[in-house]
Amino acid sequence: MGAGAARETDETRSAEGWREFAPYLKALARGPDSLADLDPELCREAMELVLAGVASPAQAASFLMVGRAKGNSASELAATSRAMRSFLRRVPAPPEPVLTVTGGFDGKLRTLNLGAASSLVAAAAGARIIIVGSEDVPPKEGYTNFGTLRKLGVRVPQTVEEAGESLARSGFAATSLAHYLPELHGLLQLRREMARRTALNVSEKLVSPVTGSAMMVGMTHRQPFLETMPRALVQLGVERALVFQAIEGSDEAPLDGTSALVVIEGEKIRETVVSPQRLGLGKVPRSELPPPAETDEHSARALLEGEPGPLRDLVLYNAALRIWMSGGDTPGSPPLEDMLIEPLERARTSLDGGEALALLHSLPG
């Protein structure tokens, strides 16, 4: 086939894609007096066409931005996540329970990353943790756990095969969209040009490459996501999850005594707040956290080596949440502080006994 014929075929295919996606855009982008949530099945089909590259960039951007302006319902977020699931490259999971930890894929700009250290402490205490995310994600394009781990000498992100082997071997893995969901990774430039968060920034947090994994999901804003994200996880059939107000929308739960955590067990959803004092930990206001980048490696390594201080309490708290969430027991109804006592002791033993630092040194560099 000559170059002219090839171009003609591509143009024809593009035109057909435009025609195929147009009805979905028309169903969503109605007049301001008739905007309504899109039927979940239509929403899933539309997002599959976006991920498959059938929708043109203009159509995809229009679809996502209208959804942002309208506000995405829990059903729409779940439908978008189902579409993403249909493209997943799965990480082979060990028989033991696995916890997927996700936060803002666009990273942090104001405070250092402590999520990686918390996950290492939890994994060294016997939990099986996989960190998922990405890098250079708009609009923030901030510092991520992958950057911190690289500074600590760990080769990340891992391929799905490497992540499966690492989970089975050490209980810790870290992989990115580029490996487990390249179709979504391929939309980064489009998202950069849109300059605003959309349903993609939320739904990507609700998708795990490990089948049947429990999930720990950090969110940026209390409203509306404290309501919509847990409901979306229930609709997705995630049996065990924790959604929480996070530091800069990351995977780090604040230790300030006021931030909400939402526990999901099957179809049951309950909101709670943890008192640092009841756990014997000091309150750590977000305003006291040091800045990121240059301090990440030093701070993370120092903490894994046993450095005392408020950051240690924040790491122990987040490690305890990970250990608790990765367990096979059900969340139950007692106060969360009571259920975190034993996981907190396991985290402290992992940190003080050097197991977390040993795990870091055992990971491929």
**pLDDT tens digits, one per residue of 260-287:** 999 999 999 999 999 999 999 999 988 8
- What pLDDT score does 294 carry? 62
For range 61-85, the mean pLDDT: 94
d(CA 209, CA 181): 8
User: Does residue 15 register a pLDDT over 90?
Assistant: no
345 backbone φψ class: left, alpha, beta (φ>0; ψ -120 to 50):
alpha
Query: Are 215 and 99 spatial neighbours (Cβ–Cβ below 8 Å)?
Result: yes
- What pLDDT score does 3 carry? 39
- What pLDDT score does 107 carry? 93
Query: Are 290 and 299 spatial neighbours (Cβ–Cβ below 8 Å)?
Result: yes
Query: Are 262 and 244 spatial neighbours (Cβ–Cβ below 8 Å)?
Result: yes
- pLDDT confidence band for 335 (50 / 70 / 90): confident
- pLDDT confidence band for 63 (50 / 70 / 90): very high
- What pLDDT score does 24 carry? 87
DSSP H or E run through 74: helix 74-85
User: Does residue 69 register a pLDDT over 80?
Assistant: yes
- What pLDDT score does 120 carry? 98
d(CA 232, CA 238): 9
Residue 260's closest CA among 244, 248, 246?
244
207 or 329, which is more confident: 207
Query: Are 21 and 56 spatial neighbours (Cβ–Cβ below 8 Å)?
Result: yes
Provide the 10 A C-beta neighbour count for residue 116: 30
Q: Which two three-digit tokens encode residue 157? A: 């992100």
Q: Which residues of 19-49 are buried (b: 16+ CB within 10 A; e: fewer)?
A: eebeebbeebeeeeeeeebbebeebbbbbbb
Mean pLDDT for all residues in the chain = 90
d(CA 342, CA 326): 13
- What pLDDT score does 75 carry? 97
- What pLDDT score does 224 carry? 85
Listed range (121-135, 232-246, 326-340) with the worst mean pLDDT: 326-340
- What pLDDT score does 31 carry? 66
> What is the percentage of the chain residues whose pLDDT exceeds 90?
77
> What is the percentage of the chain residues whose pLDDT exceeds 70?
91
- pLDDT confidence band for 6 (50 / 70 / 90): very low
Q: Which two three-digit tokens encode residue 195? A: 């300059």
d(CA 162, CA 157): 9
Q: Give pLDDT tens digits for 283-325.
A: 998 888 888 766 667 788 999 999 999 999 999 999 999 999 9
> Helices then strands (H, E): number in the chain?
16, 7
Query: Are 109 and 289 spatial neighbours (Cβ–Cβ below 8 Å)?
Result: no
d(CA 12, CA 178): 29
User: Does residue 175 register a pLDDT over 50?
Assistant: yes
Query: Are 197 and 105 spatial neighbours (Cβ–Cβ below 8 Å)?
Result: no
Q: Give pLDDT tens digits for 124-158.
A: 999 999 999 999 999 999 999 999 999 999 999 99
Query: Are 137 and 129 spatial neighbours (Cβ–Cβ below 8 Å)?
Result: no
For range 326-341, the mean pLDDT: 77
- pLDDT confidence band for 329 (50 / 70 / 90): low
Omega of the bond prior to 230 within 30 degrees of 0, cis?
no
For range 218-243, the mean pLDDT: 93
C-alpha distances (whole Å) from 306 to each of 35, 64, 349 are 54, 45, 11
d(CA 79, CA 329): 29
Q: For domain 99-362, give the fold.
A: Pyrimidine Nucleoside Phosphorylase; Chain A, domain 2 (3.40.1030)
DSSP H or E run through 20: helix 3-28
- What pLDDT score does 287 carry? 84
3-state SS assignment for residue 172: strand
d(CA 60, CA 58): 6
Query: Are 68 and 31 spatial neighbours (Cβ–Cβ below 8 Å)?
Result: no
d(CA 297, CA 60): 38
- What pLDDT score does 5 carry? 38
Listed range (28-32, 243-247, 349-353) with the worst mean pLDDT: 28-32
d(CA 243, CA 181): 22
Q: Give the neighbor-by-neighbor strand order of the sheet with 260-265.
A: 172-176, 129-133, 99-102, 214-219, 240-245, 260-265, 268-273
d(CA 268, CA 263): 8
Residue 149's closest CA among 170, 175, 169?
175
Domain residue limits, the chain: 3-71, 99-362
User: Does residue 196 register a pLDDT over 50?
Assistant: yes
330 or 181, which is more confident: 181
